[in-house]
Amino acid sequence: NPSNIQMEGSSGLKRVNCRAKGGVPGFKVAILGAAGGIGQSLSMLMKMNPLVSVLHLYDVVNAPGVTADVSHMDTGAVVRGFLGQPQLENALTGMDLVIVPAGVPRKPGMTRDDLFNINAGIVKTLCEGIAKCCPNAIVNVISNPVNSTVPIAAEVFKKAGTFDPKRLLGVTTLDVVRANTFVARFKIIYDYQKPECLKTYVLGLSDAEVLGVDPRDVNVPVVGGHAGVTILPLLSQVNPPSSFTKEEINYLTNRIQNGGTEVVEAKAGAGSATLSMAYAAAKFADACLRGLKGDVGVVECSYITSQVTELPFFATKVRLGRTGVEEIFALGPLNEYERAGLEKAKKELADSIQKGVAFIKK
Ligand code: NAD
Ligand code: LMR
């Protein structure tokens, strides 16, 4: 019975033990758009997260099937499904973290901004529900164009009187994930004369794939926003410290900025990144939950309300804690190439932010 897909009755809601195994806090997480390409894999990954005690899966289609499927996994989180607008409020009530991958994806030839007309309205409606039912939840916005949907969410929350800039985070983790991968897949050898330094050599791609280092050992800060030139990898700040030639910087920057388009074209009309995005979203959500739990030193890049530049929103490294974003890191020293990239990024970002704000204010 699709109109009655909540897996738990109201007594079940009360019975859920909100401490995960081993006495660690268990958090209540909702995924809005859970039946989509990202949503399904993300639902599975969040069901595997030991910090999640309750997982609410909401969509306007197919939520019952995804819920039934994910709920059979023998992990701790209790899963409940919610289908359609009338069930949105139940899906959101009491949530600690709400993840939003609802909305249409790109097809070849489209920009993320081409999704604005459809996705702006979807994000607005969902955020109105969040403001009403779980105003204190941390919100992770995935729906594109992120550069505009985060300002839309902020305006909805301001209108409702619930806006807390520390709790609204645009998910740009996929840019960092890609940057880490692409940088690591270069052949990197240690310069034993200077052990703190890594030297990089670009080889043919196949050689690089074989000879690169493990992406898990690389960290590239990616700042700005989440579209084209607004995606600004700071290759001068790669950890472990690495040096790149001008050609290498050009190649890596273009590849990182166009990673989304690379997937859209390879999928040839069947959508955009879903699996790597679900991985990235799960990684970011886990960081938010570890922050809520009180872990120290949880640092990720995210597109948030910011005073790092003159723009009201900007992605930088942030430290996550019990109240959400607890520290916003400055950009750090930029080289000439990055300074030029920053100017381009800010110009495009300003328009995207303005478009999002105007959508709610009009
Ligand atoms: P998809 O079409 O596979 O899934 C989207 C889901 O959203 C569908 O199940 C659909 O029914 C649901 N949906 C639509 N309207 C809804 C509403 N009002 N309430 C709840 N659910 C609703 O798309 P996808 O590939 O999962 O991508 C989703 C979004 O994520 C797109 O906008 C895409 O551009 C974006 N995206 C962002 C990033 C990022 O890095 N931030 C990466 C990849 C994709
Ligand atoms: C991505 O970076 O993969 C997403 O923003 C989806 C897209 O449209 O490229």
DSSP 73-115: S-SS-EEEEEESGGGHHHHHTT-SEEEE--SPPP-TT--GGGG
Ligand 2 lined by 185 (C-beta under 6 Å): no
pLDDT on residue 362: 84
Cβ pair 256, 244 in contact under 8 A: no
pLDDT on residue 184: 83
pLDDT on residue 197: 42
- Give the residues surrounding ligand 1 with Cβ less than 6 Å away: 32-33, 35-39, 59-61, 101-106, 115, 119, 122, 125-126, 142-144, 146, 171, 174, 226, 271-274, 277
ipTM score assigned to the predicted complex = 0.99
Angle at 15 between CA 99 and CA 294, to 5 degrees: 50
Pairing mode, strands 138-141 and 168-170? parallel
pLDDT on residue 86: 98
Of the ligands numbered here, which is closest to the C-alpha atom of 143?
1
Within 8 A by CB and 6+ apart from 323, the residues are: 166, 167
Ligand 2: centre distance to CA 107 (Å): 10
Within 8 A by CB and 6+ apart from 105, the residues are: 37, 115, 144, 264, 271, 272, 274
Residues with a catalytic annotation lie at 226
- What pTM does this model have? 0.92
User: Using CA positions, which residue lies closest to atom 41 of ligand 1?
Assistant: 142
Q: Which atom belonging to ligand 2 lies closest to the Cα atom of 115?
A: 8
pLDDT on residue 246: 86
Whole-Å CA distances, 8 to 1, 2, 11, 36, 85: 14, 14, 8, 23, 19
pLDDT on residue 212: 60
pLDDT on residue 242: 81
Whole-Å CA distances, 30 to 97, 174, 211, 342, 360: 6, 20, 40, 34, 24
Cβ pair 224, 331 in contact under 8 A: no
Ligand 1: centre distance to CA 305 (Å): 23
User: Using CA positions, which residue lies closest to atom 4 of ligand 2?
Assistant: 260
Query: 231: annotated binding-site residue?
Result: no
Ligand 2 lined by 112 (C-beta under 6 Å): yes
Distance CA 232, CA 342 (A): 7
Query: 120: annotated binding-site residue?
Result: no
User: One-letter amino acid identity for 201?
Assistant: Y
Tokens read off for 183:
């940088």
Tokens read off for 161:
């009187």
Ligand 2 lined by 144 (C-beta under 6 Å): yes
E strand residue ranges, 131-247: 138-141, 168-170, 187-190, 198-201, 222-224, 231-233, 242-243
Pairing mode, strands 313-321 and 298-305? antiparallel
Of the ligands numbered here, which is closest to the C-alpha atom of 150?
1
Distance CA 11, CA 16 (A): 9
pLDDT on residue 329: 98
Those residues of the chain that have pLDDT short of 50 are 1-17, 187-211
pLDDT on residue 72: 98
